Amino acid sequence: MSEKEVYLDSCKTTKLAPEVLDAMMPFLKNKYWYPGSFTSIGTEIAEVIEQAQQTVAKTLNTEPEEITFTSGGTDANNIAIQGIMQANKERGKHFICSTVSHPSVLAVFQGLEKLGFEGTYISANKDGYLDLDELRDAIRPDTVLAAFTHVNHILGAVQDAKAIRKILDEADQKIYLFMDSCEAYTKVPIDVQDMGIDAISISAHKFNGPKGNGILYTKKGTKIRQTQFGITRVFKLKPGAINIPGIVGSAKAVELAFKDFDKTIAYYRELQKLLYNQLLSRIPDSILNGPPLGERSPAHLNVTFRYIEGEAIMMMLDFENIHVDTGSACSSENLKPNYIMMNTGRTHEESHGSVRFTFDRFVTREGILRTVDVLERTVAELRRRSPLGKKES
């Protein structure tokens, strides 16, 4: 692997930004204290946490006290979903989810179903957009929560939270709206007031922050129960030891991501357009999966290369120090067709031949062009060997 790395798997994780590491180091080495109100060192740490909450809250158009730092996106999903369902079970045990939600969301609901809760899973169209007519039909008098993945991690579809909220408000009872925004945050604008969202999960390592650190927004007044118990030092919903370096690093990553937000999004769109145009013009029988450019997440592209396996492409690119993904980052070791690809009408071949390319701010134009050069050779070689049908001439 003599060539410089090209990392196009940012939906799975991202590298830690150098500025984030620099911000964390004092709290790993010297400022190891806990928050408190009666000592200078405790007060300093308490102020650091409050500043981190303010940094995040500003990006969501909410209040700092509505921000909880967690141990990851999955942790935030569990706290929000379980906490809301358990707190409201006397008025209803029904939830609405989707067949194309992220596995970390689906797993929480599967666990709740074992405890006697009931769910309706609405479908999505070929681009990954939820069927809002199904959503309206799924609402019952005992529906408590609707929970969806904000940006589909496989297809790049950005769900219309405002439209979802409008439908939920047609019900006679309060239905909470939770959005798993781990792939959406820092990629699309999120205004929780304007969108009518009651809770959101965020994962810091998806935008060059530290791994094992998440963020949970819960709207003031949301009826939610603790799902974890212990000593509560700062966050009611997340008791126990507080990861101060992780909180500082997460806040720094947020600050960097939103420093020139519009400029960064424009850069993602430039990379996306370059990759899309190069792939479809140079590699025949390439199919875009998900919404067209301009409608999908700007840092996301999913393409099926017909007649060959995406796993084979991924491994051959890996030999060239180019890193992409096929299927869900949480289950790509499973060679079954991706459930989202299948649930949105793809064939086994289209699903197996798909490759996902996702960007962060460290991806370069040169890296994109080298990826296409290698892909062109790789796809041609694999198709010559392919037993699936068409060969490159």
Q: Where does the chain have alpha helices with state H?
A: 18-29, 40-60, 73-87, 103-114, 132-138, 161-168, 192-195, 244-259, 261-282, 310-319, 339-343, 348-352, 365-385
CB 386 within 8 A of CB 307: yes
Region at 62 (left for phi over 0; alpha for psi -120 to 50; beta for the rest):
beta
The closest alpha carbon to 304, from 381, 375, 384, 374, belongs to 375
The closest alpha carbon to 306, from 348, 342, 338, 341, belongs to 348
Strand-pair partners of 149 = 180
Q: Which residue's structure tokens are 């666990």? A: 111
d(CA 338, CA 306): 16
Please give the C-alpha separations between residue 308 and each of 201, 256, 325, 332, 385, in angstroms, as whole numbers.
Answer: 36, 39, 15, 16, 9
Q: Which residue's structure tokens are 């212990």? A: 230
DSSP reduced 3-state for 89:
coil
97 is a catalytic site residue: no
Whole-number CA gyration radius for the chain: 22
Is residue 324 exposed (0-12), middle (13-18) or buried (19+ Cβ within 10 Å)?
Answer: buried
Give catalytic residue positions.
Answer: 330
